[in-house]
Structure 1
Amino acid sequence: MSALDLIDIRKRYGSVDTLKGIDISLESGEFLVLLGSSGCGKSTLLNIIAGLAEPTAGEVRIDGRSVNGVHPKDRDIAMVFQSYALYPNLSVARNIGFGLEMRKIPRATREDAVRKTAGILQIENLLDRKPSELSGGQRQRVAIGRALVRDPKVFLFDEPLSNLDAKLRMEMRTELKRLHQMLGTTIVYVTHDQIEAMTLATRIAVMRNGQIEQLATPEEIYNRPATLYVAEFVGSPPMNLLDATFEGNTLSIDGSNARIVLPAHLHSTEARRQVVIGIRPEALYPIAQESDQPSIEAKIEIVELTGPERVVSGSVGSQKLVASLPQQTAITSGALQRFGCPIDALHLFDRKSGERI
């Protein structure tokens, strides 16, 4: 039995369709990340799962039981918000155990559960403090503890790390990963941060305009994006997308003399098909001008040292090309440079539909 099933979930506000038919089946212990830009519908979907909003159509099932119309407190879910929403006048211990207190759980049982949760989160020494005495990362641990102590069927996280600085975000990502691996909890997590999605998820649902563009593992999302949107949205620097014409087994890049000749068995079944070539920046590598392997020549415009790598920006005719190269790579602005790319690292998309070929 699935831990969570979303069946044709739709949400309409007036004449605006916010969600346009979402279908997801989540097994127990999965970590699903809803990834997308602002306004794509991911938080609306999370609120529908939580019971904070009702779908216009469709059904939400938790452990096989329909929860449409069921009050949030009766759904056996716990939610961690972007704001910590802690009670400032209560100690950490009482903040964590507040939900149990409201359910009239005996004090001894409640205190034991709070101590156990604090141990898991490594905040035992903070139990007597007030929220105002805590750092941002500690407050977020307390908010997670308040959800964790209830032992719900599904955890919901709504951009919980967005208020933290970069260092704390990295630490909390590691902490969430550790908790998930240790407890095997079922999690639905909303973010617009692709690094959070790639590092935390067992599966990612990339959302756009109220629909799912692709639902897959992080590896598949990155290595085999289903659409142009996914290809461009996931990856830093983002994937190079070059307009080209595909005829026979040759890709001719628009606005330039660049040609990529594919192996004979990789050929277009259509005459002069308009496509987009996708190439991850890290798949490109410099080659000598006299090399006879498939390549792309670019005029180098900017060279940036990021620390571990050298990010090179250039142009192929009228189109932009970015390559992520090893730090020690010798390359200069203004030069013409040929780049090789493994054939299996080329992604082809239909230009009109945006679908992967």
Structure 2
Amino acid sequence: MSALEIQNIRKNYGAVETLKGIDISLQSGEFLVLLGSSGCGKSTLLNIIAGLAEATSGDIRIGDRSILGVHPKDRDIAMVFQSYALYPNLSVRRNIGFGLEMRKVPVAERDKAVQEAARLLQIEALLDRKPSQLSGGQRQRVAIGRALVRKPQVFLFDEPLSNLDAKLRLEMRTELKRLHQMLRTTVVYVTHDQIEAMTLATRIAVMKDGRIEQLGTPEEIYNRPATLYVAGFVGAPPMNILDVTVRNGLLEIAGSDVTIPLPPRYATIGDGTRLSLGIRPEALRLAAEGAVGLTLPAKVEVVELTGPELIATARIGGQKLIACLAPRTRLGEGESRRFAFEEEALHLFDPTTGLACEGAP
């Protein structure tokens, strides 16, 4: 039986349809990340699961029980907010145990649960402090601890790391990963940060305009994007997208006289078809002088060293091409170079529908 079942959820605000039929089935212990830009509907969906907003139609079930219309406190869920939502006048100990206190859980049982949560989150030394005496990362641990002690069937996280600096975000991502591996509780996690999604999720739902563009594992989302939107949204830098036309078994790159062979798996695509060609920046490498094989000639415009990699922005015809190269690559701005790649790195999309083209396996 699924731990969480989201069935054709729709949400309207007057004539505006915010969610347009969301279907997701989660097994117990899965970590689902709802990924998308602001306004895509991910937080609205989370709030409907939490009971903070009502669905216009559809159903949500935890186990064999529908939770629509059930009061949030009776849904057997716990939510961690972006703003922490801690009580400033209460100690860490009382903040973590507040929900249990409201449920009249006996003091001894409550104290045991708080101590266990503090041990898991490595904040035992902070239990007698007030929130104002804590760092951002420590406050987030307290908010997570307050959810942990309830032992819910489903955890909900609403962009919990967005208020932290880069170093703390990395540390807290690791902590969340460790906790999930230990507890194996079902999690629904909202973020616009693709690195959080890729590192934490067992499955990712990429959302756009109230719909799911693709639902799959991080590996599927990254290596086999189902749409142009997913291809361009997931990845940093994003996937290169070039306008091409199929001609006599070749792909002609618009704005240039460059052609490359049409991959055999797409051999059924007809002559004259206009397509979008996708290739990830990290799939490109500088070709050696006189190298044979698949290459794209381009003129380098900008070279940026980030530390672990060298990012080259080039032009092929009038179209932009970005390559992520080894940091010690010798490459100058204004140079004309060839970038090599493997056939498997190419993705073809229908520019009208935005869908990935079907290719032979």
Relative to the length of structure 1, the TM-score reads 0.98
Matched residue, 1:322 = 322
**AA of the residue aligned to 2:32:** L
Gaps of 5+ in 1: none
* Alignment partners' CA distance in 2, 1:213 and 1:266: 22
Matched residue, 1:302 = 302
| Structure 1 position 179, deviation (Å) | 0.2
**AA of the residue aligned to 1:43:** S
**Cα contact 2:161–2:172 (8 A) shared by 1:** yes
Describe the shift of the 1:338–1:87 C-alpha distance in structure 2 as closer, same or farther (beyond 3 A): same
| Structure 1 position 328, deviation (Å) | 1.4
**Cα contact 2:246–2:262 (8 A) shared by 1:** no
- Does residue 237 (structure 1) correspond to residue 242 (structure 2)? The answer is no
Within a 5 Å distance, the mapping from 1:244-263 to structure 2 comes to: 244-262=244-262
- Does residue 62 (structure 1) correspond to residue 62 (structure 2)? The answer is yes
* Alignment partners' CA distance in 1, 2:18 and 2:100: 35
**AA of the residue aligned to 1:123:** I
- Does residue 181 (structure 1) correspond to residue 181 (structure 2)? The answer is yes
| Structure 1 position 247, deviation (Å) | 2.9
Q: What is the root-mean-square deviation of aligned Cα atoms in Å?
A: 1.0
Within a 5 Å distance, the mapping from 1:206-355 to structure 2 comes to: 206-262=206-262, 264=264, 266-288=266-288, 290-355=290-355
- Does residue 14 (structure 1) correspond to residue 33 (structure 2)? The answer is no
Q: Deviations over 1:99-119 (max 9, x none)?
A: 000000000110011001110
* Alignment partners' CA distance in 2, 1:53 and 1:264: 49
* Alignment partners' CA distance in 2, 1:293 and 1:228: 26
Q: Deviations over 1:287-330 (max 9, x none)?
A: 14533312111000111111111100010000000000001111
Fraction of identical pairs, as percent: 69
**Cα contact 1:249–1:266 (8 A) shared by 2:** no
Q: Deviations over 1:180-227 (max 9, x none)?
A: 001101100000000100010000000000000000000110000000
**AA of the residue aligned to 1:325:** L
**AA of the residue aligned to 2:15:** S
| Structure 1 position 269, deviation (Å) | 3.0
* Alignment partners' CA distance in 2, 1:132 and 1:292: 63
* Alignment partners' CA distance in 1, 2:305 and 2:37: 28
Q: Deviations over 1:9-58 (max 9, x none)?
A: 00000000000000000110000000000000000000000011110000
**Cα contact 1:246–1:268 (8 A) shared by 2:** no
Matched residue, 2:159 = 159
* Alignment partners' CA distance in 1, 2:335 and 2:268: 33
Matched residue, 1:53 = 53
| Structure 1 position 178, deviation (Å) | 0.3
**Cα contact 1:28–1:185 (8 A) shared by 2:** yes
* Alignment partners' CA distance in 2, 1:263 and 1:244: 13
* Alignment partners' CA distance in 2, 1:266 and 1:159: 39
